Amino acid sequence: MSGEKHAGGTTARYVLLGSVVFLVLLGLVMVFSASSGPDFLRYHDSAYHIKRQALALLAGLAVLGLASRVDYHFWKRLYWMGLIFADTALVAVMFAGVTRNGARSWFDIGGISFQPSELAKLILVFAVAALVADRTGGRDRRMPDLGRFLAAVGPVLLLVLLQRDMGTAMTTTLGVGAVLILGGVEWRYIAMMAAAAAVGALALTVMEPYRVARLLSFVNPWADPQGTGYHTIQSLLAFGSGGWKGAGLGMSAQKYFYLPEAQTDFIFSIIGEELGLWGTLSVVIAFGAFTVAGFRIALGSRDLLGKLVAGGLTTLIVAQAVINMAAATQLMPITGLPLPLVSYGGTSLLFTLAGVGLILSVSSHGLVLARGIPARVSSADGSERARTGERRRDGRPHLSRVDGGVSTRGRRA
């Protein structure tokens, strides 16, 4: 049985890596396709966006490699420090950051943009996983220590919402919820938090007129085709123009200033226009494979922390992908979230690959070992076993057949 789990974990690792490679390469192609024409007209450089995306990818691959090689238990001693740093950055960006699309969420330093909320949500999911795993190895089904839980979750979500970034708050909440469910927390606690989150989301929507307008435009975008419904209508036109086979790579018409943020928020629409239904289905299938592989790694983990880290981060990444694709196809209101691994955005790509690296770390350091391969034990455990050995029924120590080749009668076999 353990051997099957080990083999399944290895397969899941390759499936996860394969889906990530496919999505990243497709993203590079589509970012260049969506941005090259407008970039030439705006900046006289058709490679303006793709050069920055390529640099972010190189940095992301380095972070992925580091995160996948380091045992994920190492980060457990640093997550509070990471949360403090992330919260500090979220506060600082509200005063020293730049505003884009109505949200002050970015630092712009020397032409390089950095969005601290991408780092904060990654650290928060890991922190909640560590807090839940500390509950007596998961045998306690109560909530983790409420004070620590609120100290970890509250500041991040509040600061992200103050930046008017409800989409990131949604995906972060879903990642935290997945950790609680996988951690075996009683459903009554989860139901109470889900109800509180739903009420809070409704209140935040009603309090902001632009969110109400987005909700109404989702219901009927044609009521204001040149205003609140413009993004949705242009996105649907892109899908309609693509049909089954697509207009052809590079042949999108919507990317020429019709569809705003074509290389980021609406990259899925450009895929639909240029590569057709088969192109969009390939993205859906890739994220489906990523989901299955991520949860196989999570469920195959030998300890609770690995299970929660892999499951929570898989949910965090896939939830954002689902929300982006649903918004592009008018299945939910527009949130402004990029499509993970595909859309243009250096910070998003960097920290998404960091999350993938942590999932791969669980697959390397947390999976059940194959039968016949002994688990690595510490020197203290080994010396203790050497001192105690096995014992006969009469209480005298002896060596086993495997260790010393001595039978239970004391004669050499």
Q: For the chain (length 413 residues), average pLDDT per consecutive 10?
A: 54 94 96 90 88 94 95 92 94 84 75 87 95 69 75 92 88 94 86 86 78 79 84 91 89 86 92 95 97 94 92 96 94 89 93 97 71 38 41 41 37 36
Q: What is the rounded radius of gyration, in angstroms, for the C-alpha atoms of the chain?
A: 25
| Whether residue 160 sits in one domain with residue 98 | yes
Q: What's the predicted TM-score (pTM) here? A: 0.84
Task: Tell me, yes or no, whether 184 and 254 share the same domain.
Answer: yes
Q: Is the dihedral of CA 288, 270, 328, 355 positive or negative?
A: positive
Residues 268 and 328 in one domain: yes
Residue 205: inside a domain: yes
**271 plus 405 within the same structural domain:** no
Q: Are 169 and 208 in contact (CB under 8 A)?
A: no
- Tell me how far apart the alpha carbons of residues 412 and 50 are, in angstroms, rounded to a whole number: 71
Q: Are residues 358 and 383 in the same domain?
A: no
- 13 lies in which domain range? 2-365
In a domain, 216, yes or no: yes
Co-location of 318 and 391 in the same domain: no
pLDDT at residue 140, as a whole number = 56
Name the domain count of the chain: 2
In a domain, 410, yes or no: yes
Reported as a single tens digit per residue, the pLDDT across 383-403 is: 444 444 444 344 444 433 333
In sequence order, the β-bridge partners of residue 397 are 391
Q: Check whether residue 90 and residue 133 sit in a common domain.
A: yes
Measure the CA–CA gap between 254 and 261, rounded to whole angstroms: 11
Does some domain include residue 370?
Answer: no
Burial letters for 112-142: b for 16+ Cβ neighbours within 10 Å, e otherwise? ebbbbbbbbbbbbbbbbbbbbbbbeebeeee
Rounded-to-integer distance, Cα 276 and Cα 359, Å: 32
* DSSP summary character for residue 97: -
pLDDT of the residue at 275: 95
Residues 25 and 167 in one domain: yes
Whether residue 153 is contained in a domain is answered as yes
Residue 219 belongs to a domain: yes
| Residues 6 or more apart whose Cβ sits within 8 Å of residue 232 | 217, 218, 221, 330, 334
Query: Are 41 and 181 within one domain?
Result: yes
Long-range contacts of 387-393 (CB under 8 A, 24+ apart): none
176 and 49 housed in the same domain: yes
| Domain presence at residue 121 | yes
238, part of any domain:
yes
Do 397 and 304 lie in one domain? The reply is no
Residue identified by tokens 């590569």 is: 275
The string of pLDDT tens digits covering residues 34-65 is 998 888 888 888 898 999 999 999 999 999 99
Q: Report whether 161 contacts 204 (CB < 8 A).
A: yes
Are 282 and 411 contained in the same domain?
A: no
